[in-house]
Every structure is written in structure tokens, then in C-alpha cells.
Amino acid sequence: MVRLDLTLFGGFLARVQGEPLALPTKKTQALLAYLALPVGHAHQRDKLATLLWGGTPDASARNSFRQALFVLRKALASSGDVLQM
């Protein structure tokens, strides 16, 4: 099993199997934190897009969400093992 450690207080830090996970934007970091907590809870894409990109039109928010999710998947895949999202 792949271990993902998140530090959310005092600054964002993500580690996969002990190795730092580089995420390019604060919103990508926020998306990972929101998806990770609580464990096993499903989230609706539209709600997450609105939560993180609420000040933009719906189509733009959904596109930004898809891009952030792509970046997360790519970063997690490059860290060795792939976590399921």
C-alpha cells in the first residue's frame, strides 16, 4: 500500500512513501488536501470546482478542476506508485 502523508498546518507538505511531492499551485495543494480528508469520502466534481474556482464561470471552473486533477495524477504517478483517485 502506498503511504501519503500530508502536513496542512504550518504550511503544506505532501510526501509519498517519504519522498516530497511537488505540486505547482496552492489550488492543486488544496484539491489534494480536500480529496484526502476524510478518508474514503466521495466528492462531486462540480462542488469541488465551485469550491476552489467559485469566482469564475462554470465552464472555466470545471476546466481548471480537470487541469488540477491531471497535475495531481501526474505528480502521484511520477512518485512511483499510483494512488487511485
Write the pLDDT tens digit of every residue in 55-78: 999 999 999 999 999 999 999 887
Domain boundaries, the chain: 23-78
Percent of the chain with pLDDT over 70: 92
Letter string b/e over residues 49-71, b meaning 16 or more CB atoms within 10 A of that residue's CB: bbebbeeeeeeebbebbeebbeb
pTM of this prediction? 0.83
**Which position has the higher pLDDT, 36 or 65?**
65
Measured distance CA(42)–CA(19) in Å, rounded: 26
